[in-house]
Structure 1
Amino acid sequence: MNAKCQCGQLSAALTGASTTVIACHCSACQRRTGSPFGVLAYYPSESVEITGTATRYERSTLTGGIFETFFCPVCGSTVYARAWKNPALIGIAVGAICDPSYPAPMWSVWEEGKHDWVEIPAPGGHFPQGRT
């Protein structure tokens, strides 16, 4: 399975299954995606092979950590992300995988920022704030 940006310059080859899929409704993810939420599928870093050039953006989290997003410098698409609290995992933007049969999120977090019309089926749980 592969994830890639709009222009195809930045891609991630994925082997194996993701460990979890999370829909996040925080304001940073809304602004990062230009959508009411962001969805990342987390894979062990050894299961991800990145090719192409990425621009890195780093922001502080509310819990004092760092969250990094990596996007294509040509077309601007976010392809992957990393949270310092889970350094062994890489979050892949589910939209970059572009597979309508990809599994739905297992968790829905920071739901106090969720738009009223959004419904996320999350069998693992719904959390008003981040998952601990």
Structure 2
Amino acid sequence: MRSASCSCGQLRIEVDGEPLGVGLCHCLACQQRTGSVFAALASFAPPYRVSGQATEYLRQGDQGARFRFRFCPVCGTNLFHTEEGCEARSVSVAVGAFADPAFPAPRASVHDSRRHAWVALPPGVRVFDKDPP
């Protein structure tokens, strides 16, 4: 089991097992959402357990998919999100919220066409100009 939480600890998510995938997203929406130059995300299969209150934000992606982001209403941390219609398949959690420097490295980089030129990727990362097919 892994546990991730917001900065103040009010909102938490617990996931089981190893991540289905770990990746970086460089799309402009993720840059604005995180306040950083990319989002680092890990997806996990259900079940997962959420405790605390969350504020939700629904955003439509470039290819029409709709994503429901959950934020802590107290500290503002963006903790996790799901894709509308795919909640039974996976949940994506912000890697930094695990506060685990030994967390597995990313294996994919999406929307790489928006990656800042000074951001270097770890060796072996699969790069996708936009979303993978």
* Global fold match (TM > 0.5): yes
CA contact (8 A) 1:107 1:122 kept: no
C-alpha change, 1:73 and 1:122, in structure 2 (3 Å) is farther
Structure 1 residues 19-65: Cα deviation after superposition (integer angstroms, max 9, x where no partner) = 0011000000001100000011000121x211100111001111111
Matched residue type, 1:105:
P
CA distance in 1, matches of 2:105, 2:84: 24
CA distance in 2, matches of 1:50, 1:71: 12
CA distance in 1, matches of 2:123, 2:55: 31
**In the alignment, does 2:53 pair up with 1:53?**
yes
Gaps of 5+ in 1: none
User: Post-superposition shift, 1:84?
Assistant: 2.7
TM score, norm. by length of structure 2: 0.93
Structure 1 residues 78-101: Cα deviation after superposition (integer angstroms, max 9, x where no partner) = 110112364310001001011011
User: Post-superposition shift, 1:120?
Assistant: 1.8
Matched residue type, 1:36:
V
- Aligned-pair identity in percent equals 38
CA distance in 1, matches of 2:70, 2:49: 14
CA contact (8 A) 1:70 1:78 kept: yes
User: Post-superposition shift, 1:110?
Assistant: 0.1
Counterpart of 1:77 in structure 2 is 77
The total of aligned residue pairs comes to 131
Counterpart of 1:22 in structure 2 is 23
Counterpart of 1:109 in structure 2 is 110
Gaps of 5+ in 2: none
